[in-house]
């Protein structure tokens, strides 16, 4: 039997996958601004937080997503051989990035904010 909670989890997981695809496609299109990847990364992290904690408030997922994204960005300041080796792997480089940029923090805030507002708006629309 498919419950409401399973539907929510499947929906959020689907949004994660769609956002990953959009992010990968955005890297192949020259005219797409670089910050778009950071925005989509934060949106993906927000959807994943909702997948894990769908019963928690939207604000919880927003703060958790921002905390995760900001932590990953700050870890880019650490340049030990271990972290450099991780960042040399093409897949892990997508997750952990290359170097710290203040502009990335803005992109993360914008992306998590967009996902948060979209999530709240859709919930309110579906309930009315």
pLDDT(127) > 90: no
Q: Which two tokens stand for residue 21?
A: 């695809």
Q: Model pTM?
A: 0.90
pLDDT digits (tens, 9 = 90+) for 86-105: 888 988 888 888 889 999 99
Q: What is the pLDDT of residue 27?
A: 86
Nearest to 12 by CA among 63, 46, 59, 60: 46
Residues 6+ apart with CB under 8 A from 52: none
CA distance 115 to 44: 8
pLDDT digits (tens, 9 = 90+) for 29-66: 989 998 999 999 999 999 999 999 999 999 999 999 99
């Amino acid at each position: 039997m498919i419950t409401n909670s399973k539907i929510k989890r499947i929906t959020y997981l689907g949004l994660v996958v769609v956002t990953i695809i959009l992010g990968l496609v955005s890297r192949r299109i020259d005219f797409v601004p670089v910050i778009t990847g950071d925005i989509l990364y934060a949106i993906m992290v927000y959807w994943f937080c909702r997948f894990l904690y769908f019963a928690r408030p939207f604000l919880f997922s927003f703060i958790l997503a921002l905390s995760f994204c900001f932590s990953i960005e700050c870890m880019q300041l650490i340049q030990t051989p271990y972290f450099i080796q991780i960042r040399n792997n093409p897949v892990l480089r997508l997750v952990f990035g290359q170097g710290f940029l203040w502009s990335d923090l803005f992109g993360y805030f914008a992306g998590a904010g967009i996902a948060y507002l979209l999530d709240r708006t859709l919930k309110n629309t579906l309930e009315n």
